[in-house]
Each structure stands twice: as C-alpha cells, then as structure tokens.
Amino acid sequence: QVQLVESGGGLVQPGGSLRLSCAASGSIFGLNVMGWYRQPPGAQRELVATITSSGMTNYADSVKGRFTISRDNAKNTVHLQMNSLKPEDTAVYYCYVRVLRNSNWGQGTQVTVSS
C-alpha cells in the first residue's frame, strides 16, 4: 500500500504564494511520476503539474510561469510552489504518484484564493 501525506494548503490573498508538499511511503518500489492535480468547485479534476524521476516536468497552461514543481527522490517527496495565485486557482489539490503502472492519490488539501 502507498501512503501519501499532503501539507501546505490554506487561505491566501490574490497575488500571494503557497507551497504544497507530499511525502510518499509504503510500497513505493518503482515510483516514477509524481505530481499534483486539482478539482475546482463544481468542476472535474484536472492536471496541474507532474515530474518524472529524471526531472522532466509537465504543466497545465493555466499555471505555467506561476507554479513550480520539484521533487526530492531521496525523500520521496514532491513540492508545488505556487506564486501569483489567482481566485481561479481555488480548488482541492491532490497529490498523485505513479508506482509502476498504478496511480495513487492523496486525500486532498484545500487551497482558497480570496481577498
């Protein structure tokens, strides 16, 4: 079983910053892709950013230039630095990891951008 522990969500004003973190543990032999998805209110879950074990990144167009994903392979952690936050970034953010061919999801952390 894979355990994912997320942290770092909260309430922030427009233009502010937040940093999300996710630590993976358990049966993670073969861990390759790590990343973040989000689900805005009343909408479907969508990709935010992913990063492979070799450091290749992929971002949603809506966050390019504002968000930065990084990972620490030694600690099996992934981080999402979110800058210049907008109200439309409000969502539940889910940590995602792929172990071999299996997808695993965190419980989600709320990010609210509001004045």
> Model confidence over 2-18: pLDDT tens digits?
999 999 999 999 999 99
Q: In this predicted model, which residue has the larger pLDDT, 58 or 26?
A: 58
C-alpha dihedral, 3 to 5 to 77 to 91, nearest 10°: 120
What local confidence, expressed as pLDDT, does residue 48 receive? 98
Which residue in 96, 92, 44 sits closest to 69, CA to CA? 96
Interval 30-86: pLDDT, tens: 889 999 999 999 999 999 999 999 999 999 999 999 999 999 999 999 999 999 999
Burial (0-12, 13-18, 19+ Cβ within 10 Å), 101 = exposed
Please, where are the H alpha helices in the chain? none
What local confidence, expressed as pLDDT, does residue 28 receive? 87
Which residue in 43, 11, 39 sits closest to 112, CA to CA? 11
H-helix or E-strand containing 35? strand 31-39
Q: What is the mean pLDDT of residues 98-115?
A: 95
What local confidence, expressed as pLDDT, does residue 114 receive? 97
3-state SS, residue 89: helix
